[in-house]
Amino acid sequence: MTESSQTFKCKYCEREFRRETTLEVHVCEQKRRYQTKDDPATRIAFQNFLAFYETTQGSAKHKTFDDFAKSAYYRAFIKFGNYCVNARVVAPTRFSEWLLKHNKRIDYWGSDKLYEEFLREYVYRENATDALTRALETSMDWAEDTDNPTEHFLRYGNSNKLCHYVTTGKVTGWTIFNCASGHEWLENLNPEQLGIVYDFLDPDKWSRKIRDYPGDTAYMKEMLEKAGW
């Protein structure tokens, strides 16, 4: 092959170019997918692509990122991965397991409606330590944004914003029902706000949870009291 007839082929789409420099700047869809394979959203998407095949076909051991990048499901799983990152989804793996268990269509996985439906169940199953960690992290973000101490989070935080934290799983009954400021916050909610958070803070469900897990309850009360909540 003479120099003039030499071509340079893209290993992703197999398009050929006369100049190597042209190949280097060339970006096809498959190359772009590989370039983003280490992005957080893509990692979540690929993990759930594997979980999907494991659940629906019994095995995913032979599935590679190449299979994922060429899959007809690629865009749907990437949409889900982006949703998990942007919405700061609580327990993405548990969320996807729930979606698969309930046979939700992949195209709709990244939706607020399904996420809230999942959270209404998950907050009552989550372990206390994870719930505490997330509540404290959320309070630190709030303290940084508002220039207030973290122990003022439930006492002086905006009630509507706190309701949003509850409905997005950032703060759960593990925290609300195990500290003085949580009880105070609940008592000051208006009927509309109580209606918004009720499915996540059902007092009957949480009273049973607290009764059935006395060790976790004692731990939460101790840690929250130390934190000034």
Residues 108 and 99: beta-carbon distance below 8 Å? no
Q: Which amino acid would we find at residue 206?
A: W
Query: HSE-up of 206 (CA within 13 Å, CB side)?
Result: 19
Can you give the pLDDT at residue 68?
Answer: 93
Q: Rg of the chain over CA atoms, in angstroms?
A: 24
Per-residue pLDDT of the chain (229 residues), as tens digits, is: 445 578 777 777 777 777 777 767 777 778 888 888 899 999 999 999 998 888 877 765 678 999 999 989 999 999 999 999 999 999 998 999 999 999 999 989 999 999 999 999 999 999 999 999 999 999 999 999 999 999 999 999 999 999 999 999 999 999 999 999 999 999 999 999 999 999 999 999 999 999 999 999 999 999 999 999 9
> Distance of alpha carbon 121 from its chain centroid, rounded?
15
- Whether residue 33 contacts residue 17, with contact meaning beta carbons closer than 8 Å, is answered with no
Stated pTM of the model? 0.80
Q: What is the pLDDT of residue 40?
A: 94
Distance between CA 227 and CA 205 in Å, rounded? 25
DSSP state of 108: G
32 contacts 4 by C-beta, under 8 angstroms: no
Q: What is the pLDDT of residue 142?
A: 96
Closest CA to 224 of 95, 105, 135, 124: 135
User: Is-contact 25 10, C-beta < 8 A?
Assistant: no
First to last CA, the chain: 76
